[in-house]
Chain A
C-alpha cells in the first residue's frame, strides 16, 4: 500500500476519534465514531486482514453503532448543556493521557522489532503451500488459492477458528446467549403494578 494512503486513513481514524470526544451532541459523536471505525477498517485491510476489516464494518460500524444511535434517539438526549467544568478533573485527565503518550513514544523508540518494514515480511505463497503440504493440510480451496498467489484470508481464519479454536468458539457462543438472556432480564420492568397499568385495556 502506498505510504500516503496509510497517513490518510490514520488521519481519518484519529480525527474522527477526536471529534467523538469534543463534539457535544451524542448523535454527532456516534456518527463520528462510525467514520473513525471506517478508517480503522481500511487500516486492517492495509494489513491484509480482509476478514477482520469486513467484520469491523459489519459488526462495529453497522450493528453496534446502530444500537448506540437507537438508544440515543430512544432516550431523546439533547446536546449536553455547558456545566461548570471541574478543573482538577480536566487537568488530571489531560496529564494522565499525556503521560500515556510519552510512555508510548518511549516504548516505540526502544522497540527494535518495531522497525521492521512490511517489505521485509512479504507474504510467501510458495513457502506457505510447501509447509501446509508438509503438515498434511489438504483443504482444496486454500491450497488452490495459494497456488494462484492470492491470500485466502477468510478461509484461513475459518480453518483456524474451527480446528484450533473450536472450543473457544463454542464458549463465545454461550457468552452471546448469556448476554442475550441478561439483556432481556435487564430491560424487563420490575414493578408489577406498572406493567399492569401499561397493558392496553379492552375499552381503548
Chain B
C-alpha cells in the first residue's frame, strides 16, 4: 500500500530537482520555473499530511488551506517576478544570470 513516506519522498525528490535547477541553470526564467517547482513540492507534502492525519474521519483541511494560500501568493510572486525580469531584459538585453553581476560584491 502507498504510505505517507512514499508521498513525502516524491515531494522531496521534486524539491531536490527544483533546487538542482536553481543552482545549475543560468537562464533566469528557467531558474524562476524551478522556484515554482520547489513551492509545488512543499504543497505536495502539505496535502499528503492533510490526508494522512484525518480529523473526525475527514482530511485535515487546515493543511489544504495553507496550500491554497501558497498557490495564491505564488501566483502573485510570478506576476511580480516576471515583470522584474522583463524590466531587466529591457535595460540589459540578457536573461543570462552571469551577465547580470552589477550587484556582485
- Chain A residues 1-38 with CB under 8 Å of chain B are 1, 3, 6, 10, 13-14, 17-18, 20-21, 26, 29-30, 33, 36-37
Give the CA-CA distance A114 to B52 in the complex, in Å. 9
Chain B residues contacting A14 (CB-CB under 8 Å) are 10, 13-14, 17
- Looking at chain A's contact residues, the main secondary structure is helix
Across the two chains, which residue of chain B brings its CB closest to A17? B17
Q: Which residue of B lies closest to A160 (CB)?
A: B61
Taking residues whose C-beta sits less than 8 angstroms from the other chain, chain A's interface range is 35 or more
| B103 proximal to A (CB < 8 A) | no
B27's partner among A26, A94, A116 (CB-CB below 8 A) is A26
- Cross-chain contact A97 with B19 (CB below 8 angstroms): yes
Q: How many contacting A-B pairs (Cβ < 8 A)?
A: 237
Residues of B within 8 A of A122 (CB): 54, 57
Q: Is A52 in contact with B12, judged by CB distance below 8 angstroms? A: no
B8-34 at interface with A (beta carbon < 8 Å):
8-10, 12-21, 23-27, 29-30, 32-34
For the complex, give the distance between the alpha carbons of A111 and B8 in Å: 11
**Contact between A108 and B5 (Cβ–Cβ < 8 Å)?**
yes
**Is A192's CB within 8 Å of the partner chain B?**
no
Size class of the B contact interface (CB-based, 8 Å): 35 or more
CB-CB under 8 A for A74 and B86, given A123-B59, A183-B79: yes
Contact B83 A29 (CB under 8 A): no
Per-residue 0/1 for A39-77: is the Cβ within 8 Å of any B Cβ (1 yes, 0 no)? 010011011110110011001100110011001101101
Q: A44-B44, A71-B86, A104-B12 are in contact. List 11 more A-B contacts (CB 8 A).
A: A6-B6, A47-B47, A60-B40, A64-B74, A64-B75, A75-B86, A104-B16, A114-B3, A116-B3, A116-B4, A179-B77
Q: Which residues of A contact B (CB under 8 A)?
A: 1, 3, 6, 10, 13-14, 17-18, 20-21, 26, 29-30, 33, 36-37, 40, 43-44, 46-49, 51-52, 55-56, 59-60, 63-64, 67-68, 71-72, 74-75, 77, 80, 83, 89-90, 92-94, 96-97, 100-101, 104-105, 108, 111, 113-119, 121-128, 131-132, 151, 156-157, 160-161, 164-165, 168, 172, 175-176, 178-180, 182-183, 186-187
Residue positions of B touching A, CB distance < 8 A: 1-10, 12-21, 23-27, 29-30, 32-34, 36-37, 40, 43-44, 47-48, 50-54, 56-59, 61-62, 64-65, 67-69, 71-80, 82-87, 89, 95-96, 98
25 CB < 8 A contacts A-B? A17-B18, A43-B7, A47-B59, A52-B64, A55-B68, A60-B40, A64-B78, A67-B78, A68-B82, A72-B29, A83-B98, A101-B12, A104-B16, A111-B8, A114-B8, A117-B2, A121-B52, A121-B54, A122-B54, A124-B58, A126-B57, A127-B56, A164-B65, A179-B79, A183-B79
